[in-house]
Structure 1
Amino acid sequence: MGLEGVIGKRKSSTYVSRRSPDWIKLKCSQRQEFVIGGYTDPQGSRVGFGALLGGVYDKDKRLRYAGSVGTGYSIKTLHKLKAELDKIETADNPFAKATDIPRNARWVKPILVAEVSFSEWTRDGHIRHPSFQGLRADKTAETITREKPVRSSAPKPSPAAMPKVSNPNRVIDPSTGGGGIQRLF
């Protein structure tokens, strides 16, 4: 439906105008691969690099800048990835006609592929709220293009096809203090 997410609430809770463990926001996210074309220097106490600069190839085989990814890294990952970036550093900007790339960018040969989760694409073709998930050694940079979400064409199940709940009060996971259907909805 293209919504940002859904709200989950305990069935017995009432609305309050503050954060509450009885109401939670479950955000939808997207995930895809991006070609690493550069990075920014670290700032403050950060080590390795600040953010990766990622892009996707368009239909004319030009690498289009899609945004910077500054979160999702462990200290170990920052060090390891910086060592890889140092090996492929170049003086040439691999992105086609991008004007919104950070000024302190350092360029790399566009051969590494990163998997990134993000909330949405902006109108100008950038990703919002990106987070690094890892490198993809099984994909080549030249194959990375912007993916288009496909809505399911499967029919919605009829109420008769929905599973029957045998015991809605049964405790399923005692470690969470929760239990059955009654406590979850």
Structure 2
Amino acid sequence: MTKARIKYVLSADSWAKARKAPMPYTFEPMLATLHREPFSDDAWLYERKFDGIRLLVFRDGDHVELYTRNGKARNGHFPELVALMAAQPGERFVLDGEVVAFEGDTTCFSRLQQRAGISDPAEARASGIKIYFYVFDSPWMEDYDIRRVPLRERKQVIREVLDYSGDLRFTPHRNGDGAAFLAEAREKGWEGIIAKKAESAYRNGRSKRWLKLKVEAGQELVIGGYTDPEGSRTGIGALLVGYYEGDALRYAGRVGTGFTDAELARLKETLSTIEQAEPAFADPPDATDIHWVTPERVADIRFTEWTPDGRLRHPAYLGERDDKDAREVVREDRA
């Protein structure tokens, strides 16, 4: 891949917005803002929302690094992706995308989580869980910072210059008809869609030029405690979860469904090592059967809605996430 190839893909106006710059080796990715109402607008692109783990890919010659959005290295967890990126025709690039595992035709975070917890490359490869990487953006390509180039043309660049013959996938998009696409997502059992302003630049941090529209309510929440199991259940009974409002951790409710037996046992082993005497919640529930923990771990929770008193209705556990810092977790419908 050469400067001439990138210049050929871009319009003259967009090429003027690209600037020569050193390759970044870390940066804060662009993040979507939750949006409630479906909409259709020709100025927006609509992509499928994957139920996976966001990864940033940095390739400099023979050297490839994979990082989560909060800067955790993931080369050992996904060695196939390292090999896949090293085999690409371009030698220097930064990609933004999502690693996924499938269950049938639907991406499945709980299946991916079984791989995400394995850091030994050989063991990860032998897990039997096949992974794919969907690339949807690139802020830097072959000596050029292309963040100011409009999104539509950044997507043209990654479509033209990358090789999609293996397990690398280009993230397709729908033009204009977002409401119909969200209805299709609901029908197919997807998590939702992402709406992106077609002419948007790539900005660090959360932006209202990228919007996430979910089929069901759900978000990451901080684990602040757990209860003991009852009856024939083993491991833990329920998780107590919450979100940050300024410096205060607010209690959002108990989550007692969605766990496998193996996950109940793993959570018990993990959480018992970070127990503390006092609750981290600013408004803890009045109960005596709770093991309080240091609020450093994050879980992905699906639920039907928030109640008027700020509790989760019918929550279910999807999996633990280590790609988001606990202090970044806020109530999304208020963000």
Q: Which category describes the TM-score, using the shorter chain as reference length?
A: 0.5 to 0.7
- Cα distance in 2 for partners of 1:82, 1:68 equals 15
Deviation per residue, 1:5-30 (Å, 9 max, x gap): x9xxxxxxxxxxxxxxxxxxxxx621
The alignment status of 1:38 with 2:225, answered yes or no, reads: yes
The alignment status of 1:139 with 2:327, answered yes or no, reads: no
Match of 1:90 among 268, 276, 280: 276
- Cα distance in 1 for partners of 2:219, 2:277 equals 27
Task: Determine the structure 1 residue equivalent to 2:291.
Answer: 106
Alignment of 1:66-85 (within 5 A): 66-85=252-271
Deviation per residue, 1:136-181 (Å, 9 max, x gap): 100010000000189xxxxxxxxxxxxxxxxxxxxxxxxxxxxxxx
SS at match of 1:148: helix
- Cα distance in 1 for partners of 2:286, 2:271 equals 18
More strand per residue:
2
> Does the 8 A contact of 1:111 with 1:140 survive in 2?
yes
Task: Determine the structure 1 residue equivalent to 2:114.
Answer: none
Counterpart AA for 2:267: L
Alignment of 1:153-172 (within 5 A): none
- Cα distance in 1 for partners of 2:283, 2:256 equals 22
Counterpart AA for 1:46: R
The alignment status of 1:115 with 2:115, answered yes or no, reads: no
Task: Determine the structure 1 residue equivalent to 2:311.
Answer: 126
SS at match of 2:333: coil
Q: TM-score, normalised by structure 1?
A: 0.63
- Cα distance in 2 for partners of 1:97, 1:83 equals 26
- Cα distance in 1 for partners of 2:248, 2:260 equals 31
- Cα distance in 2 for partners of 1:102, 1:66 equals 15
CA deviation after TM superposition for structure 1 residue 87, in Å: 1.0
| Larger RCO of the pair (alpha carbons < 8 Å, separation 6+) | 1
Match of 2:248 among 62, 70, 90: 62
Counterpart AA for 2:231: G
Structure 1: 5+ residue stretches without partners: 7-27, 151-185
SS at match of 2:267: helix
Counterpart AA for 2:251: Y
Residue 84 to residue 57, structure 1, CA distance change in 2 (3 Å): same
The list of structure 1 runs, each at least 4 consecutive aligned residues, that deviate by more than 6 angstroms after superposition, is none
- Cα distance in 1 for partners of 2:257, 2:250 equals 21
CA deviation after TM superposition for structure 1 residue 103, in Å: 2.9
- Cα distance in 2 for partners of 1:37, 1:93 equals 7
Deviation per residue, 1:7-65 (Å, 9 max, x gap): xxxxxxxxxxxxxxxxxxxxx62110110000011000010010000000003x10000
CA deviation after TM superposition for structure 1 residue 101, in Å: 4.6
- Cα distance in 2 for partners of 1:85, 1:149 equals 29
Task: Determine the structure 2 residue equivalent to 1:47.
Answer: 234
